[in-house]
Chains A and B, each alone.
Chain A
Amino acid sequence: MPDEAGTIGLRVARYRPDTDSEPGWQEYDVPLRREWTVLDALNHVKNEVDPTLSFRWSCRMGICGSCGMDVDGTPRLTCGTFLADFAPGPIRVEPLSNFPVVRDLVVDIDDFIQKLPRVKPWIIRDEEKSVDEGEYLQSPEELDAYKQFSMCINCMLCYAACPVYGLDPDFVGPAAIALAERYDLDSRDQGARERLDVLIEHEGVWGCTFVGECTRVCPKHVDPAGAIQRYKLKAARESVKALLLPRGAR
């Protein structure tokens, strides 16, 4: 393909809270460059065509997790989504599903920010070692056990892809549960019990019906669906244990 092969249409969802009662569509034509991503196209629109268009981005390299949008109906990082893959277009660009829209392509992720600390995504120790005793050591195998789940960039694509979260906003959701699993699997952590108390609730892991779409859209191969199913096994084991064993043996 030549460097520039004409133009491609962008069909962008717009919502201006001060004037619009609901979102509408606006069409833009942008140059179809082989190396351009959807985010590049949006920046082109903002810089050259329509400075009122609002969207979030920062790193342009799949690290910050702020550029997530629904592209042709699928949640994606727009900085890693190439225009050429959607030729001849037009490409539909919408704010991430399942979140309230603040303006144009910007969504309000407060709900996730409220939920995240509930799963205690930090290392919990029964007793902290003193600094003099040195660091907590970890073998490469112990690191491998949780590394995949630690790659999450909080991009919220998995929440946008999850119909359970869309229908029941109380559901803790994929990334938060994957992060709980990340700390549970960390050899330095002793907080599994505390996290289970939160996740064993109906809005915890049992809300998930294993659609699996979260794993499919995750740009970092975190596999939140896998984390949730493993958590279910763990929760079920604990429930059976609680039923069968006397208190002291648990």
Chain B
Amino acid sequence: MNGVRTYRRPISTWWWVGKRTYFVFVMRELSSIFIAWLVVYLLLMIAAIGRGADAYDDFLRFAANPVVVVVDLVALAFVVLHTITWFGLTPKAMDVRAAGRPVPAAAVIASQYVGLVVVSAFVVWLVSR
């Protein structure tokens, strides 16, 4: 708008603390760092297994370090948050239709949890065989 002196309000660095939804959003974004950590952790474990029994024992000692245990617990909490929030958002991103009708959001979300349980059960079966 010409000729009018408008005022631009500055945005605080802490814009995301005041509102619950913004806070959850920033935590959800942050959770990807912990997902990355778990991937690194898994790769370290696989590398150790590949190098033999001694290397694997070393890895187990590393994993039992209290600092690593705490990091893993925090990571677990963030992974749970990551899973719940992204599963919850899926129906927004995908317009799923069956027989021409939109599938209710709850059904889309539920199907992801079913998938998660099936895959988890398979993994448990695989390692405990």
Partners in one complex: yes
| Cα–Cα, bound, A230→B4 (Å) | 39
Stretch at the interface among A40-48, A53-61, A95-103, A237-245: A95-103
What residue in chain B is nearest A210 (Cβ atoms)? B89
Residues of B contacting A100 with CB < 8 Å?
6-8
Residues of B contacting A166 with CB < 8 Å?
11, 15
Q: Does B92 lie within 8 Å of A101, measured CB to CB?
A: no
What is A's interface to B at a CB cutoff of 8 Å? 15, 17, 22-23, 73-74, 97, 100-102, 108, 110, 141, 163, 166-167, 209-213, 215-216, 223, 225-226, 229-230, 232-233
Least CB distance from B39 to A in Å reads 21
Check if B52 is an interface residue, CB within 8 A of chain A: no
What residue in chain A is nearest B91 (Cβ atoms)? A226
Known: A73-B18, A212-B21, A226-B93. A97 touches B9 (CB 8 A): yes
Check if B113 is an interface residue, CB within 8 A of chain A: no
Which 10 residue pairs across A and B have the least CB separation, nearest first? A229-B93, A100-B6, A226-B92, A17-B5, A101-B7, A211-B25, A100-B8, A108-B1, A108-B6, A166-B11
Q: Does B21 lie within 8 Å of A102, measured CB to CB?
A: no
What residue in chain A is nearest B2 (Cβ atoms)? A110
28 pairs across A/B with beta carbons < 8 Å?
A17-B5, A17-B6, A17-B7, A73-B18, A73-B19, A74-B19, A101-B9, A102-B4, A108-B4, A163-B15, A166-B15, A167-B11, A209-B25, A209-B29, A210-B89, A210-B93, A211-B22, A212-B21, A212-B92, A213-B22, A215-B92, A216-B21, A225-B92, A226-B92, A226-B93, A229-B89, A230-B93, A230-B95
What residue in chain B is nearest A229 (Cβ atoms)? B93
Check if B94 is an interface residue, CB within 8 A of chain A: yes
Residues of A contacting B94 with CB < 8 Å?
229-230, 233
What is B's interface to A at a CB cutoff of 8 Å? 1, 4-9, 11, 15-16, 18-19, 21-22, 25, 29, 89, 92-95, 100
| Cα–Cα, bound, A163→B4 (Å) | 25
| Cα–Cα, bound, A42→B1 (Å) | 25
- Interface residue SS majority, chain B: loop
Q: Does A141 lie within 8 Å of B100, measured CB to CB?
A: yes
Known: A166-B15, A211-B25. A223 touches B92 (CB 8 A): yes
Additional pairs, 5, CB under 8 Å, beyond known A215-B92, A229-B94 = A22-B7, A163-B22, A211-B25, A213-B21, A216-B21
Least CB distance from B80 to A in Å reads 19
| Cα–Cα, bound, A101→B8 (Å) | 6
| Cα–Cα, bound, A73→B12 (Å) | 14
Residues of B contacting A102 with CB < 8 Å?
1, 4, 6
Residues of A contacting B89 with CB < 8 Å?
210, 212, 229
What residue in chain B is nearest A95 (Cβ atoms)? B9
Residues of A contacting B8 with CB < 8 Å?
100-101
Least CB distance from B105 to A in Å reads 10
| Cα–Cα, bound, A147→B1 (Å) | 33
Q: Does B15 lie within 8 Å of A15, measured CB to CB?
A: no
| Cα–Cα, bound, A181→B6 (Å) | 32
| Cα–Cα, bound, A134→B123 (Å) | 61
What residue in chain B is nearest A230 (Cβ atoms)? B95
Residues of A contacting B21 with CB < 8 Å?
211-213, 216
Least CB distance from B91 to A in Å reads 8
Least CB distance from A12 to B in Å reads 15
| Cα–Cα, bound, A229→B88 (Å) | 13
| Cα–Cα, bound, A130→B61 (Å) | 79
| Cα–Cα, bound, A118→B18 (Å) | 34
